[in-house]
Structure 1
Amino acid sequence: MIEAITIQKSAQPQRTLKKEVHFSGIGIHTGRLVSIRFVPAAAGKGIVFKRVDLPGQPEIPALVEYAAETARSTSIGLDSIRIHTVEHVLAAIHANRIHNLTIELTNIEPPVGNGSSDVFVEMIEQAGIEELDSPEFCLSVQQPIYHSEKDIHVVALPGSGFKVSYTLDYPETPAIKSQYRSFDITAESFKKEIASCRTFALYEEVATLMDRGLIKGGSLDNAVMIKGDAIFSKGGLFFPDEMVRHKILDLIGDLTLVGYPINAHIIAIRSGHAANVALAKKLIGSLREVQSGISR
């Protein structure tokens, strides 16, 4: 019997950063000023967020069991402590194959930058990458694992390396309609094709988001707004299909919560944070079933 998930030792070492690096800005949903600092960590530490503004400086691992909210962004939490909008940071970390890092924050969400992962890629490049004296372990998909709900689908198929194919469909919004992109995810392809792609929202959604107390820091400096066949953004679109590329960015960030580099081909149709995190939970659930069978 072929197990659905395996953990495989790769020929690559675990990695962290060579030095600390920081950036300050506002959070897109809270509008609050926040500083983020990347702090190198030892092998086996994993990716951990740290709220240095709170008593005791509590830490929350970037793992799916700490996923707390998936409405418009992905939040992680421990007890009453929350960190919102972690996906843009995590996407840059995953694409650059950083395994161990402490991410210090002075508020409840990372700075938005320009609404993409650009600033976090720049931070990684500024700090440099250090290889550690411990092997990398990857989560490899051996059999299809999927999550579906109505017309939303996301599936992990066996594959070498990490590939993401995404179909975006807004049939009633002429400026978007249907968009499709597929990328083999590497540090190079992420920086060139995905990292700069900004978050977007339909004009009709904005009032609802504001009523919910979200996007207080949102503006055309860090988001793309779409109404009908019109697109509003600072400097125009970076790519004609920037929206589907941003969805791929979000998916990479959300799947970072698996806690391992992933060997799989991820195919997604209209998936958002809730479906992405649901797939991450199924991947980890399948892994635990395998580990439980071995322990018996």
Structure 2
Amino acid sequence: MTEEKVKVLIIGSGPAGYTAAIYASRAGLNPVLVTGGEPGGQLTTTNDVENFPGYPDGINGPQMMMDLQKQAERFGTDVRYGLVTSVDFSGYPHKAIVDEKHEITAEAVIISTGASAKYLGLDSEKEYYNKGVSACAVCDGFFYKGKNVALVGGGDTAAEEATYLANLCPKVYMIVRRDELRASKIMQQRVLNTPNIEVLWNTETEEILGDGDSVTGARVVNNQTGEKREIDVAGFFVAIGHSPNTAIFKDYLEMDETGYLKVVPGTSKTNVEGVFVTGDAADKVYRQAVTAAGTGCMGALDAERFLQSRELETV
């Protein structure tokens, strides 16, 4: 196994990782960024990004990530394609293994591994991903303004996204596999009091329908009666949760019951000194590119101050 020592290691790319890299490299910290299994993160699977400041005409998601990478590299970030397969935060400095063959020892680590949306697992869902299938109503709802849509889920996020879509779309079908919503009482009332939301109780999606280019509908089935129904929709939103990509940190970092890493409020600091977390790996509320970028800035500034304080201690 090869070994290397660096000042700052950034694990993961995307808006959080690349923003952390821009700030860290401009501060002279010579960061090494390991992209992860999905270089650029979730935005590389998004065609159009219209809600990130500075792009009045919108921008293609992959292009935006390439721009951020170029900006980070311009200031000296060493971007490497690879996957951090394990870490050891039990001592200092911190250690990370890349692709199970290269050990990096870092004085500060910034985690930007993000989260992955959960999907139903249908072949038709994969076929129409980004052609009408989306896991983010706030990101993509605008594209379906004036069109009927469907949304799967029964929790708070699903309820919030359904009411968001109801402001844009004439009809929102909310597909719920049980006979009740898991959402909080206030969110349930909001859904049930919105006239253009139709809740399909005890219902599951059998197939997403389309013409090859875009979604045209969905075939759903009542899991009690077996009755099938086709609904005409142009958009199909999945709101059944996200999984933070944090499993390799579970032995060292505090996380909630679903795996989101915990931070000291108002900072990017974890329970381990010199380890910081940014973006969706710690954010289960907003999950937007712009908020991820903001925490990327925080992570780099927190890491810089941490390293400065250690240097002062050794003087």
- TM-score normalised by structure 2 residue count: 0.26
Say which structure is richer in strand: 1
Q: Which has the larger radius of gyration?
A: 2
